[in-house]
Amino acid sequence: MQTMITLDEILNDYIGRKRDALLPVLWDVQTAFGHIDAEAVHQISHTLRVPEADIYGVISFYTLFHDEPTGETIIRVCTDPSCGLAGADDMLNGLCSRLGIHHGETTVDGQFTIEHSACLGLCEHAPAALISWRGIGEQSIAPVSDTDVLLNGTDNAQYESIIGGDAPVLLAGVDTYAAQRLKNYGDYVALRKAINDSSPENVIAEVEESGLIGRGGAAFPTGMKWRFTRQATGQPHYVVCNADESEPGTFKDRVLMEARPHLLLEGIALCGYAIGAETGYLFIRGEYPEAMQRMQAAIDEALEVGLLGDNIMGSDFSFHIEIRRGAGAYICGEETALFEAIEGKRGFPRIKPPYPTTHGLFGKPTTINNVETLCAVPGIITNGAAWFKAFGTEKSTGPKLVSVSGHVNRPGVYEISPGITLRELLNDYCEGVTGELQAVLMGGAAGTFLTPDEIDVRLTFEDLRKAGSTFGSGAIVVFNTETDLRDVLVRLGRFFRHESCGKCFPCQLGTQRQVEILERLDAPLPDDRSRLEDIGWTMTESSLCGLGQTAASAVLSAIEKWPELFEKG
C-alpha cells in the first residue's frame, strides 16, 4: 500500500528550487511520512535555502501539515453547519468511541488519527470527510454512510455532481460522474478567436462591456481588473486562479473543476493573453483532491495538443499553467494571503494598497480571479458581450452559480439568471424546503441571515445589497424550524476562531472572545449581547482583511433579526 520513498529522493526533485517550492515539498514529505519532522525541516532548509524557523512556522500554520507523528490514516470529519445538520457530530463521536480515542488523537497502534475539519466543500452530500492515506494521498468521502467507510475507504467515486437551473452555460454538457474530456469539450474556440482575430485590448474591452463582476465574493468588475494589470509596469505579469474555495456552504468551484476543467483552463489562458502573462497559477485548496487530479489531467491533455504551452495554435503566445495545492487555511482565499502561500510563507494577508494589479504574486502585476469568474470568460469571447448581458439584470449580468445546502429537498449547484427570487430558487429548483423554513444564511459563514419574510428578494447583486444581504461566495444554507440557530452560530464562531490567521489583533482576539460568548448562549451572562456587538463591530471596522471584517457578519445579523436568541431563557 505504501510507496517507500526516501527523504533524499523527494529532495532530489527540488535541487535548485527556491522558497516558492516550499508548500509542494512539504506536501511530498507529509504524504510520504505522515508528518514533517525536525530532520526533514533541516534538509529542506538546506535544499531551498529557507531558515528552519520559517519552515516550522509554515508547517504549524496549515492544518493539513503535521509536525508530530500521525496515524497511518488521518480521518477528518467536517462539522460545519451543513454537515452538522446531517449528523456529522454523531459520526465523529461514533468513530472516536469505536477507536477509543478523542478527536485530535492517534490510536495506540498508530493506525488512525481522527480530526474534525472545517468545511470540505461537499455540503450537498453532507456529511463529508477527508481521508489521508500514508504514502498515497487524500480521498474525499461523501456522504459518509457509516464509520466503516471511514476506516476502510472505498474504491468508488462516492458522489456525483448534483446540478440544476434554467440556463446551463457554465454547467453545459456536464457528465455528473466524470470530468469533461477534451474530445467532448472541443477546441478552445474562444482562445483561438482571441489569438487569431482579436488583440488583448479588444478581449479586455469585451469583458468590460459584458459587465462581468467577480464571483468570489468581493464583486469587483473583472474587465477593469484586467485592464489595470495589463497597464501596470513591471514584468512578468501573472494570472492566478483562486480555487481556494473554503467558505462554508460553497462548492460551486469544486463542481466546475471536477466537471468542466477545460472551460476553466481556457478562461485562465484568455486572461493570460489579455493581460500579457505567460504563467498562470491555479491554487486549489488541499481539501479538493478530486478537483486537483482532474485539473492536472486536463492540463496534460491540453499540453499534448498544443492548446496550452509554447506558441499556442502556432502563434507567438505561450502560456503555462501550474497547479499549486493549499494545505488547509481558509484565509488563503484572501487574494494576498494566497500569494503568500504560493511564495512559501504563512498565509498572512498583506496590507492593501498596493493592490495585486500592480504588486501581486512575487511583487509583480497580477490578475487574481475566482474559478467561476474565469469560467464565464470563454462564453463572452465566443458569443459576445451582448449575449452575456441577455442573462440577468443590468447590474448583475450573466449566468451565476449558487451552492444550495441544508434543509432543501435537492441540494446542489444551480445555475441561475440573476433576477429570480430566492423563493423561486428554493421552491422550483431545489424542490422545496424540508420542513418549515426558519432562516437562510446567504454568502456562507461570512454572510448574513434572511428570515422567511425576506425570501422574495431577487437574487441579484444590487437587490441583495439593498436587503442588507449578499451573494458573497454564492453559498445559500437553508435551516428549517427544527434547527437550533444558537447551535448554527456556535459552529460559525468555531469556524472563524479556527481560521483566523492571527495577524491583526481585532480578529485574532475577537474570533476567540466571540465564540466563548456564543458557546454560553443557552445561559448567557448579562450584557453578553453588548459584548458581542462591541466585538463584532470592532472586527468589522478595524480588521486588516476581509476575513476579520466579516467574521461577525452572521452574528450581527442574527442579533438584529432574532434578539431573543441572545437573552436568557
Partner 1 sequence: MPEADDNMITFTLDGEEITVPEGTTLLEAARMIGKEIPVICYHDATTANGLCRVCVVDVNGGRLLQPACIAECQHDSIVETRNERVERNRRTILEMLNSAVDLSQGEAIQEMMMDYGVDESRFPDAKRREHDIHDDNPFYVRDYNQCVLCWRCVQVCAEDAQYTFALTLGERGYDTHVATAFDIGMMDSPCVFCGQCIGVCPTGALKPKTEWGLEQGMSPDEIRQMTRIPRRRKENTE
Could you list the residues that contact partner 1 (CB under 8 A)? Answer: 38, 41, 51-57, 60-61, 67, 329, 346, 351, 497-506, 508-513, 516, 520, 525, 531, 534-535, 537-538, 541-544, 549
Give the DSSP per-residue string, 97-143.
Answer: HHHT--TT-B-TTS-EEEEEES--S-GGG-S-EEEEETTTEEEEE-S
**Count of Cβ atoms closer than 10 Å to residue 130 Cβ:** 25
Residue placing its CB nearer to partner 1 in the complex, 53 or 157: 53
Residue placing its CB nearer to partner 1 in the complex, 56 or 387: 56
Residue placing its CB nearer to partner 1 in the complex, 51 or 363: 51
**Count of Cβ atoms closer than 10 Å to residue 557 Cβ:** 21
**What is the closest distance, in whole angstroms, from the C-beta atom of residue 531 to partner 1 in the complex?**
7
| Euclidean distance between CA atoms 377 and 203, whole angstroms | 10
Phi/psi zone of residue 104: left (φ > 0), alpha (ψ -120 to 50 degrees), beta?
Answer: left
Q: What angle do CA 532, 537, 542 make, to 5 degrees?
A: 130
**What is the closest distance, in whole angstroms, from the C-beta atom of residue 327 to partner 1 in the complex?**
12
Phi/psi zone of residue 527: left (φ > 0), alpha (ψ -120 to 50 degrees), beta?
Answer: left
Give the DSSP per-residue string, 45-111.
Answer: HHHHT--HHHHHHHHHHSTT--SS---SEEEEEE-SHHHHHTTHHHHHHHHHHHHT--TT-B-TTS-
Beta bridge partners of 239: 280, 367
- Which contacts (CB < 8 Å, 24+ apart) does range 496-500 have? 496/445, 496/547, 496/551, 498/63, 498/118, 499/118, 499/246, 499/329, 499/330, 499/331, 499/547, 500/331, 500/547, 500/548, 500/551
Residue placing its CB nearer to partner 1 in the complex, 116 or 346: 346
**What is the closest distance, in whole angstroms, from the C-beta atom of residue 228 to partner 1 in the complex?**
19
Residue placing its CB nearer to partner 1 in the complex, 248 or 510: 510
**What is the closest distance, in whole angstroms, from the C-beta atom of residue 523 to partner 1 in the complex?**
12
Contact 272, 278 (CB under 8 A): yes
**What is the closest distance, in whole angstroms, from the C-beta atom of residue 332 to partner 1 in the complex?**
11
| Euclidean distance between CA atoms 484 and 84, whole angstroms | 11
Residue 129 C-alpha cell reads as 470527510
**What is the closest distance, in whole angstroms, from the C-beta atom of residue 349 to partner 1 in the complex?**
10
Residue placing its CB nearer to partner 1 in the complex, 305 or 525: 525
Residue placing its CB nearer to partner 1 in the complex, 199 or 530: 530
| Euclidean distance between CA atoms 405 and 423, whole angstroms | 15
Residue placing its CB nearer to partner 1 in the complex, 405 or 511: 511
Q: Which amino acid is present at 487?
A: D
Q: CA distances (Å), 140 to each of 127, 132, 255, in order?
A: 11, 9, 13
Residue placing its CB nearer to partner 1 in the complex, 132 or 514: 514
Sheet architecture: strand order including 137-141: 112-117, 73-78, 129-133, 137-141
**What is the closest distance, in whole angstroms, from the C-beta atom of residue 108 to partner 1 in the complex?**
24
| Euclidean distance between CA atoms 191 and 187, whole angstroms | 9
Rounded CA Rg of the chain: 23
Residue placing its CB nearer to partner 1 in the complex, 452 or 502: 502
Contact 448, 554 (CB under 8 A): yes
Residue placing its CB nearer to partner 1 in the complex, 342 or 544: 544
Q: Taking Cα atoms as reference points, which of 521, 514, 519, 520 lies closest to residue 567?
A: 521
**What is the closest distance, in whole angstroms, from the C-beta atom of residue 553 to partner 1 in the complex?**
13
**What is the closest distance, in whole angstroms, from the C-beta atom of residue 471 to partner 1 in the complex?**
18
Residue 34 C-alpha cell reads as 505522515
Residue placing its CB nearer to partner 1 in the complex, 237 or 345: 345
Strand 137-141, strand 129-133: pairing: antiparallel
Give the 3-state secondary structure percentages of the chain, helix then strand then coil, rounded to 5: 45, 15, 40
Residue placing its CB nearer to partner 1 in the complex, 137 or 502: 502
| Euclidean distance between CA atoms 212 and 207, whole angstroms | 7
Residue placing its CB nearer to partner 1 in the complex, 117 or 500: 500
